[in-house]
Structure 1
Amino acid sequence: MNSVSPFRDPAAPGNPVIPRQDWDRAPWNRWTFQHVRDLLPTTQVWRGPGPVSHLPTDLRDIDAITFAAEGRACTVGSFLESNYADGFLVLHGGKIVAERYMNGMTSRTQHLSQSVAKSVVGTVAGILIDRGVVNPAAPLTHYLPELEATAYRGATVQHVLDMTSGVVFDETYTALDSHMAQLDAASGWKDHRNPNWPKSVWDLILSLKDLECPHGTSFRYRSIETDVLSFVLQRATATSLADLVSRELWAPMGAEEDAYFTVDAAGYSLGDGGFNATLRDYARFALLHLRGGEIDGKRIVSNEWLAGTRFEADPTLFGGIYHEVLPTGAYHNQFWIEDTVHGVYMARGVFGQLVYIDPTADFAAVVLSSWPEFVSTARTQTTLAAVRAIRGALGS
């Protein structure tokens, strides 16, 4: 069962101080994922001056829906109670059919999405590609000539969209000397364990000099690829990432609340995982995708680009440990593809963040969590089984 966090108000007398190096770890993350701007430097993603897009509600009782997980029968209600969920929302037929807030979260709470941010950045990239501002076939050095001196020399924008560059980047979350540990420090999330580590995300990108395979030959999950993409978007538009997301996505889609990014010492918004928003605004993001790039009659991203994201991924580049959760999966344009036949796709983040999108069934689910583990195959499989069971019960 989920425990009640003793860290909900760390300023209260007698409560422990959240450790700087472990703020995103259990048990602290039960509080911190809803209060990131109280801990780190951030920048606003303005919702704009326009109207809020409509989210009609038709609530259903979904708690008794059953599914199998780890060889036993479960219910959606027991799943929500036992899997460290903070927010949960289901869309079907363009309406909210389930909406839950747990662990102190409210409808106005901005929750850290971790790598769901990658899909937000990927969607903005799609908007700019549609407009001809960014060419996915162009070499990265066309936009960022500084990368000629790195292992990204010869890689294209599409390679980082798909995380198929051959650049060495150790994503190990728990290792103290991995590239991921350096990224935590460079982004401002953690203190530098080594004074020689890069001081900003850009500096870290410039330090990547080694290749593990030729560009375009294999998918390897590298968070830094989203940051490379973000710098391409910034350079191509002479606009900061936070302002780009606001101008091209958040304001046009009619977000109800501002979102925000964490920023590094150089003021860069962390595109690979620093995005925070409310549950309903993540649902609007999902609805935009369900509606083929339109929301409230407003075209934001082309249906052609979204269809390409869903159906044009190359599953032959996807394998190894990634098959444990998505045995027929793929990765394309900063989204995880459940399979390229049905075109179900998703945004995922460590510690249990998920935006699941099935346009054919007109169904989406948003799960915001604060798991005790960075990654858990069992919890991910359980979450996907619960979401699929809800989809089935709704008649899709």
Structure 2
Amino acid sequence: MDSYRNSDPRPPIMQGSPPKLVPPKLDWDRGPWNRWAFQNIREVLPTVEVWRGNGHRRRFERVEVDLDDLPVVDSTGSATTLAGLLDETYTDGFLVLKDGKIAYERYFNGMDERSLHLSQSMAKSVTGSVFGILAGRGLIDPAKPVTSYLPELGETAWAGASVQQVLDMTTGVRFSEEYTNPYSEIGQVDVASGWKPVPPCSDPAFQWPAHMFELILRLKDRVRPHGEAFEYRSIETDVLAFIMERVTGKRLAQLVSEELWQKLGADESACFSVDGAGYALAEGGFNATLRDYGRFGQLILDNGGGVVPADWIEATRNGRHGPGFNPSLPEGSYRNQFWIEDPRSRALMCRGVFGQLIHIGWDNRMVVVKLSTYPDFANIAYSVATLKAVHAIAAALG
């Protein structure tokens, strides 16, 4: 069954009792099933709460601007409107904060203000921000070797790597992000994290990892000297999370709750998916509401708001840039688990497969959140058109 855009008829996935269209366990994250599953992860996977606490909710003022008809370009470079682009790119929720106020907010595909939506790799930036808090407190020194905190990794490819190299994804650890190959390391993450069962036709002699730390301990091959080059590898974020858990004696979901979620004034508790050992998947298992992702982006835009150290955010905005850094970010960079758009704006971006984005721009004091369910893991044309739309919105709002 093909995926559907918001302007198309909506198939009755998980409707009725019992429902007739149930996402298959091997393909729940692919279209069209992800259009339901990304908003209902607690019905798909085991999860752990990231409690919002009993404190304040940060209320947004609203200074709304109707941007539906804003001229932008679509994925082919042809003229369209913002509303048209949001439909083309399988959008579930879209939020624009200007000077900390809601300028534009739209929900699609059954999503509403209380719906939790899977972040995919935007979770890395959430994890990295809490890491920055702990580093600012002196609990972790990024200059130290990884093995200072996780001595077990001395028998892995991380031996000799610094924590900062893990933060910036510049270690030399061999890890393939080939999403469509079940035997690639990211394919093994699907099984180790509990996201997917062992593929039914896989080699019976292949030993699938039972949980994420077991997978980490298996990674013994190095493809280059540590620090030589950036290569995007999701497993680096999980190494950071295990360091955080080891030095604090707390699980990741508790750390994110206490250090971040209770302090940014979230509307709703968030959640992480967990593996068979109860580990919250730092690299991509975080779920939150559209506005709460906006609150997180605004906290970063406010230079940490007294929660994340301002010098950590300033350091995060400085990285080694292109050329040819990434197909959709040719002048980009990566630092401390955030993407940097270019060396001029130094705008930070949280990005995840299937079209997840938080864009944080200091030049225009603007945060844009886009939650999506592309049919495929990545679509460079959609990502480029979305970034151009962000710039068009910034120009329109001044």
What TM-score range do you get, normalising by the shorter chain? Answer: over 0.9
Q: 1:83 aligns with which of 84, 89, 95?
A: 89
Corresponding position: 1:253 with 2:253: no
Aligned to 1:262: 273
**Residue deviations 1:279-313 (CA, integer Å, cap 9, x gap):** 1100000110111111xxxx101211111111x21
Aligned to 1:159: 165
For residues 14 and 170 of structure 1, what CA distance do their matches in structure 2 show?
36
Cα gap change, 1:35 to 1:221, in 2 (>3 Å): same
Aligned to 1:17: 22
Q: 2:40 aligns with which of 15, 35, 48?
A: 35
Corresponding position: 1:98 with 2:109: no
DSSP-derived class of the 1:323 partner: coil
Q: 1:135 aligns with which of 130, 141, 145?
A: 141
Question: Equivalent residues in 2 for 1:269-308 (5 A)?
Answer: 269-294=280-305, 299-308=306-315
Contact 2:345 2:362 survives alignment (8 Å)? no
The letter of the residue matching 1:323 is N
Question: What percent of counterpart residues are identical?
Answer: 51
The letter of the residue matching 1:57 is R
For residues 17 and 44 of structure 1, what CA distance do their matches in structure 2 show?
24
The letter of the residue matching 1:54 is R
Contact 2:13 2:23 survives alignment (8 Å)? no
Q: Which 4+ runs in 1 deviate beyond 6 A? A: none
Give the TM-score taking structure 1 as reference length.
0.95
Corresponding residue pairs, total: 387
Contact 1:88 1:367 survives alignment (8 Å)? yes
Aligned to 2:319: 313
For residues 12 and 157 of structure 2, what CA distance do their matches in structure 1 show?
43
Give the TM-score taking structure 2 as reference length.
0.95
Question: Equivalent residues in 2 for 1:1-396 (5 A)?
Answer: 1-2=5-6, 3-10=8-15, 12-13=17-18, 15-69=20-74, 70-193=76-199, 196-294=207-305, 299-310=306-317, 312-315=318-321, 322-395=325-398
- RMSD across aligned positions (CA): 1.3
For residues 176 and 253 of structure 1, what CA distance do their matches in structure 2 show?
38
For residues 205 and 304 of structure 1, what CA distance do their matches in structure 2 show?
30
For residues 143 and 121 of structure 2, what CA distance do their matches in structure 1 show?
24
Contact 1:10 1:18 survives alignment (8 Å)? no
The letter of the residue matching 2:344 is V
Contact 2:347 2:361 survives alignment (8 Å)? yes
For residues 190 and 385 of structure 2, what CA distance do their matches in structure 1 show?
28
Contact 1:4 1:103 survives alignment (8 Å)? no
The letter of the residue matching 2:21 is P
For residues 13 and 40 of structure 2, what CA distance do their matches in structure 1 show?
9
Cα gap change, 1:201 to 1:85, in 2 (>3 Å): same
Contact 1:6 1:15 survives alignment (8 Å)? no
Contact 2:120 2:284 survives alignment (8 Å)? yes
For residues 267 and 18 of structure 2, what CA distance do their matches in structure 1 show?
34
**Residue deviations 1:100-130 (CA, integer Å, cap 9, x gap):** 1100001000000100000000100111111
The letter of the residue matching 1:245 is V
The letter of the residue matching 2:137 is R
**Residue deviations 1:43-73 (CA, integer Å, cap 9, x gap):** 0000011110121111111112112343311
Shift of 1:323: 2.8
For residues 9 and 141 of structure 2, what CA distance do their matches in structure 1 show?
48
Shift of 1:382: 1.0
Which segments of 5 or more consecutive residues in structure 1 lack a partner in the other structure? none
Which segments of 5 or more consecutive residues in structure 2 lack a partner in the other structure? none
